Amino acid sequence: MNQPQLFHEDIWQALTDCVRALGGAKVLGHRMRPQLDPQDAGRWLLDCLNPARKDKLDLEQIIFILTEARDVGCHAGMAYLCQVTGYAPPLPVEPEDEQASLMREFIEANREQSARSARIEALAARLTRKR
């Protein structure tokens, strides 16, 4: 298996590492363009990753590659984007951790909502007594 590069000259090299991690151009190209046979789909994807060619991936396709690569532990594409835009290296979040965090936030938001409702009811009762 090919070892991913530590540094990439451009986004296309970084995405090529992601494609390799996802089974290669034929496999991923066919997933992205199932209407094409694997050979043609692979050629299409390689053309899109070649800066000298006119075919390019659109943003949704790039996001798809980055997301799929993240799921197999390849962060080359995101690392390159972070590096060239001045961000810290990416820190992937496991879906289970994200779900647990969202659950905690949801529970806390409900608690706060209940407290607000109680305050509103208390204020409404005070206003009613004043009249």
- Contact (Cβ atoms closer than 8 angstroms) between residue 52 and residue 40: no
Q: What is the C-alpha separation between 123 and 77, in angstroms, rounded?
A: 54
Torsion (CA) 78, 84, 86, 88 in degrees, nearest 10:
30
Q: What is the C-alpha separation between 102 and 123, in angstroms, rounded?
A: 31
Give pTM, 2 decimals: 0.71
46-97 tens-digit pLDDT:
999 999 999 999 999 999 999 999 999 999 999 999 999 999 998 887 778 7
Q: What is the C-alpha separation between 38 and 13, in angstroms, rounded?
A: 21
